[in-house]
Amino acid sequence: MAQTIKNQIIEGNIPRHIAIIMDGNGRWAKEKGMNRIFGHSQGVETVRKIVEASSEIGVGYLTLYAFSTENWARPKKEVNALMELLVSTLKVEITKLHKNNVKLHTIGDIAALPEKCQQELEESKKQTENNTGLNLTLALSYSSKKDILNAAKILAHKSVNGDILIDDIDESVFQQELSTCNFPDVELLIRTSGENRISNFLLWELAYAELYFTKTHWPDFDAEGLYQAIDDYQKRERRF
C-alpha cells in the first residue's frame, strides 16, 4: 500500500519544506503498559524512517519539533533521559546522515541544553556542514514566540543605533532576524497523535502552510504516513 501511495505522489509538487510536530510518544507507551522513556526511544526509530523517506523523495528541508521550551517543565527524570537519548542517537546516526548527504541544523536555545548535548550537536553539524542533500533541522528548547520577540529586539536596537530606519523594516527584513532566516517557509506541517494545535512552533514560518493532522502516534508513524500527508497536500488547491 505504501508503494502505491508513493507512486501517486507528483514529483514536481513535493513540499520544499516539511515541518513535523512529533507527538504521542508518551501516549503510545502508556497504551502498551510501558514508561514514557520507552516511547521516546521508539520515536527515534520513526525519525530515522522519516528522514530516509524525505531524503529519498526529494524533500529539501525537514524540521522536527524535538523539544520545546515548555518541555523543560516535564519530570526531571524524563528530561534527563531525553537529553541522554539525544546524545546517544547523534553518536549512532550522524555517520549515516553524513553518508546520505544530510546536513544537520538546529534552532532554539541550544545554550540551555546540557554541555554534552551542545558538544555532540556542534560536532554533528560540523561533520555535515558541507553536505548538499536534505536539510534536517532539530528544534530544541525552541519557542517560536521567543524567536519572534528576539527578532523584534534586534531590530529595535538597530533602529535606536541608527543602523536601520523604521520605515525600512518590512517582512523580508524582519525574517532575516529569525533563527530560520536561511530556510524557506514551511509548506506542509504534520502533527501526529490527534492534537490539532500548533503549540508555539514556527508561527511566522507557518503563515501559508498546509496543515495535516493524524491520530497516529509518532512511534507508529512511518513512510506510508508521510506519503499520505504529501498526497493529501498535493490534492489541495493552495490559495495565498
Give pLDDT, residue 2: 44
User: For the residues 136-155, what does the mean pLDDT come to?
Assistant: 98
Q: Which of 23, 25, 135, 147 is catalytic?
A: 23
Q: Which of 35, 71, 100, 200 is catalytic?
A: 71
Residue 71 a catalytic site member? yes
Residues 6+ apart with CB under 8 A from 219: 24, 25, 28, 29, 39, 42, 43, 45, 46
pLDDT bucket at 239, cuts 50 / 70 / 90: confident
User: For the residues 180-198, what does the mean pLDDT come to?
Assistant: 97
User: For the residues 176-192, what does the mean pLDDT come to?
Assistant: 98
Residue 60 has pLDDT above 60, yes or no: yes
Residue 214 has pLDDT above 60, yes or no: yes
Question: pLDDT tens digit string along 76-113?
Answer: 999 999 999 999 999 999 999 999 999 999 999 999 99
Residue 23 a catalytic site member? yes
Give pLDDT, residue 240: 74
Cell numbers of 104, please?
A: 544537520
User: Environment class of residue 195 by beta-carbon count within 10 Å: exposed (0-12), middle (13-18) or buried (19+)?
Assistant: middle
